[in-house]
Structure 1
Amino acid sequence: MDGSLSLPNPSVSRRQLLNFFTGAIVAATASAALYPGTKFFVPPAETTDADGSILAKDQLGHPIPASQILDEPTGTRALIAGLAGEPTYLTVKEDGTLDSMGIVNNCTHLGCTFPWNPVDQQFQCPCHGSRYDAQGSVERGPANRPLKLVHVQVKDNYIWISPWTEIDPRTGEKAWWV
């Protein structure tokens, strides 16, 4: 007898064990890198009301309290992130409430965003010169359609936005964006 113990051959060789650990480390690293990438491409779920309205948010995605906008002087036009993140103007009326119509800030000519000009009382697209009145109707082209509208409601100091699917009150016809 040589005095050594005879052990049976192991069921997993050293090479197989190292391959397993290498594969596990690569899989863990890949999944750790893919998770934030997939989260970036999947939009966050919108907070919706029973009727399908979404909560109005600022440009950072935080809900905007209605009192913040209503503290502004009458006639103020506040720009918020509306449906699908589209910039939307809300108007403070003379009685200190929000107008029930919001105006989407996308030019109907080529989709540019534009500022409200309080001096001329117009929305003025700087790209191609389209002009819209305070209700979003075209005053001067090249745009040939009025701006999109959304419904605006205030509930419990939060602003809720929902799509406008009825007749356009400015034209008396079916809304072109429906």
Structure 2
Amino acid sequence: MSENLALESPSMSRRQLLNFLTGAVVATTASTLLYPAAKFFIAPSEVSEDGSILAKDVHGNLIPAKQILAEPVGTRALVAGLNAEPTYIIVESDGTLHPWGIVDNCTHLGCTFPWNANENQFQCPCHGSRYDAEGRVVRGPAPLPLKLVKVKVEEEYIRFSPWIENDPRTGEKPWWV
């Protein structure tokens, strides 16, 4: 008894090939259009693996870096940083942000304070502590310099991360680590 083998062609028909190519073109075009739209509607991750966080305004909205960088040189913008602590970031003369931000909490009793541009100092209104432009104590009763955080522009937003290296102002291990 002999069995007949089917002699059908295993290759793809012309119609199948054209359907495959049409589908591939449609899928490629759709994905190139949908990816930017999806990226626009999905908010960037706020907290990364290294503990860094994106800067926010007083209402909890993300702050685009270009908004701060559009300010005049020397501007000290107050934003919400790590653990929602108020943090000053500084616009440098070359149009970038200073590599560290200064946390706006007095090291005496934790008061928040304004930047006094006329005297080029941070001045705590509660007990009279004063700090220079980099956060070093000029006048007590505050015992320690202000806490620092790392500042970097990532994509179009400002990201803060904990400062764990030596304090660049003193060259010593920071008190907040």
* 1:51 Cα deviation from its structure 2 partner: 3.1
* 1:78 counterpart residue number: 77
Q: What is the identity percentage for the equivalent residue pairs of Structure 1 and Structure 2?
A: 68
Residue 155 of structure 1 pairs with residue 147 of structure 2: no
Give the 5 Å matches for 1:120-131: 120-131=119-130
Residue 65 of structure 1 pairs with residue 73 of structure 2: no
Unaligned ranges ≥5, structure 2: 1-44
Cα deviation 1:109-160 (Å, max 9, x = unaligned) = 0000000000100000000000000000000000010000000000111000
Q: Aligned with 1:68: secondary structure?
A: helix
Q: Aligned with 1:79: secondary structure?
A: strand
Q: Aligned with 2:151: secondary structure?
A: strand
* 1:49 Cα deviation from its structure 2 partner: 2.7
Rounded to whole Å, the distance in 2 between the matches of 1:172 and 1:122 is 21
Paired residues in the alignment total 133
Cα deviation 1:20-79 (Å, max 9, x = unaligned) = xxxxxxxxxxxxxxxxxxxxxxxxxx7123433101101111100000000000000000
Rounded to whole Å, the distance in 1 between the matches of 2:172 and 2:96 is 27
* 2:52 counterpart residue number: 53
Rounded to whole Å, the distance in 2 between the matches of 1:158 and 1:50 is 17
Rounded to whole Å, the distance in 2 between the matches of 1:55 and 1:94 is 23
Counterpart residue type for residue 174 of structure 1: K
Rounded to whole Å, the distance in 1 between the matches of 2:80 and 2:50 is 19
Per the normalisation by structure 1, the TM-score is: 0.73
RMSD after superposition: 1.0
Give the 5 Å matches for 1:1-178: 47-178=46-177
Per the normalisation by structure 2, the TM-score is: 0.73
Unaligned ranges ≥5, structure 1: 1-45
Rounded to whole Å, the distance in 2 between the matches of 1:54 and 1:84 is 9
* 1:175 Cα deviation from its structure 2 partner: 0.3
Over 2 Å off, 4+ runs:
49-52
Rounded to whole Å, the distance in 2 between the matches of 1:173 and 1:153 is 22
* 1:21 counterpart residue number: none
